[in-house]
Structure 1
């Protein structure tokens, strides 16, 4: 997987270390993964983006994979989407990309949302995969959502309850998430990718990822409230799995139109894990969207 990519641990000026992989030439795309995965989730999509003429940056979010997992605090601020997005903005600046495209899946899409809000001059266009905004999902909680996304309410419980329970059998917990959210499409996940997710899902990562969700239910909502009257101005794409819960519960483009001026949307023929379940369709959608956006604003290094 990703054999033609560089593989580095990069120390940012802030002191955070991120695992980063890069390849390709042309306009830069930053790809951000979700829970409970790592940058490896893009291993089927990233080569197709390179073939289409893009430079691709893959990064493990703080708290995930081989990136740092800093201590948290009572406000969960080290795992706020603002802190996680700032890491990625620092990284892209470090790599020489003044402007760039961003695509995020799941938690990575929530980081991408904050990145687009806090660094609008850097993000030329952004694609959100299988989410609607956090505050919208919490504000419209009902039984179907709470049942399907029970982890949103489980992971935010005070430490160490979820950490201890997940840590008892982390591999089982992780693979059950892949299976359930893909509607049983286990063949979509290559064995070496799953082995990498399990390798990285250690005690430190389990705690850090719980902190990610705790932040989402607290400090992230405070940050979102400050932005409720400000629309994203860059082009926005929403992609979702037509077999997944997001598709069942929400009119995805209609929700995003409340948060952004220019929204396009498209359903992919899969469950939640678009980059692995429908990689060619997802790559084609990203390529078409980013090429139709003002590519001159996303310069290669």
Structure 2
């Protein structure tokens, strides 16, 4: 249905089974998805990127068909450090010691951490519609809390978000796609059905909450400890001009506080750049990637 010519793999990486698609032949390119989706979000552009690159599209741990490891009271198994280590191991499994990374949403946060923890591995990094996690929390105000309410809902303890989302996961997921997008009919219903197939599972709902709990705790600890570190590789920031990130932040300026070589551009869409503006996103990535 999606990803013609791609093979499906399951790789044990960093102690966690990671489900992924791999296609193409050329320099290695890792594509990391966001919440509440799976690797399927890359379907509008993956096949065309595979004309020039070896494209690897995994499901992050806790998402899609990848494993959902047990968490702990510090949420460390869902830290971006752990997720980044997964993907470094995935790429090493295929013989790639240095590669380019494109991440959207949560995947972009994993890519950011990967570039800090493994600077020798990441040749180029593109981050789609985010600013760093630490900056989001430090700039929180009423407008941000309204737009990013899920950041504060999903981190609640004792199973509250899991219970409430679990009552109607399809409503919740479709509501996120609707609220965060600006282009009508942007989503292929077949892709949405794939997101729903995975997201309906109670284990996925819990694991994705743990992802956000980690962002509000251990990820911030790591970010504070590493304030002296900067992303050394070229970094491309893309954002939706009609969405919250583009309206709230001077995105390139924020990233220049964290990275040495930043370029960026806004696209006429909301949060889901790949599905709302596939041609524009593809063109921007092709101009940036080696």
TM above 0.5: yes
Structure 2 match to 1:50: 50
Instruction: Check conservation: 1:61, 1:67, Cα contact below 8 A.
Output: yes
- Please list, as runs of the form range in 1=range in 2, the aligned pairs for 1:100-249 lying within 5 A after superposition: 100-183=99-182, 185-201=183-199, 202-249=201-248
SS of the aligned residue for 2:50 comes to helix
Normalising by the residue count of structure 1, what TM-score does the alignment of the two structures yield?
Answer: 0.94
Q: Distance in 2 between matches of 1:85 and 1:261?
A: 20
Query: Equivalences for 1:8-87 in 2 at 5 Å?
Result: 8-12=9-13, 14-51=14-51, 53-87=52-86
CA contact (8 A) 2:69 2:77 kept: yes
Whole-Å separation in 2 of the counterparts to 1:106 and 1:204: 21
- Give, in angstroms, the shift of residue 49 of structure 1: 1.0
TM-aligned CA deviation for residue 186 of structure 1 = 4.6
Q: What's the offset of the Cα at 1:45?
A: 1.2
Kept in 2, the 8 Å contact 1:238–1:253? The answer is: yes
SS class of match (2:21): strand
**CA displacement at 1:55 relative to structure 2:** 1.1
- State the TM-score, normalizing by the size of structure 2: 0.98
Give the Å deviation of 1:11.
1.8
* Cα pair 1:178 1:186 within 8 Å, conserved: no
Gaps of 5+ in 1: 292-301
Runs of 4+ in 1 over 2 A off after TM superposition: none
* Distance in 1, Cα, partners of 2:29 & 2:142: 37
SS of residue in 2 equivalent to 1:255: helix
- Bigger fraction of residues in strand: 2
Aligned twin of 1:296:
none
Q: Quick one: higher RCO (CA 8 Å, sep 6+), 1 or 2?
A: 1
Structure 2 gaps of 5+ residues are: none
Q: Deviations 1:93-120 (Å, cap 9, x if unpaired)?
A: 0011111000000000000000111110
Equivalent residue, structure 1, for 2:8: 7
Q: What secondary structure sits across from 2:91 in the alignment?
A: helix
How much has 1:3 moved relative to structure 2? 2.2
The two structures, once aligned, show a CA RMSD in angstroms of 0.8
Deviation at 1:159, TM superposition (A): 2.8
Aligned residues: 288
Mapped to 2, the partners of 1:45 and 1:251 lie a distance apart of 27
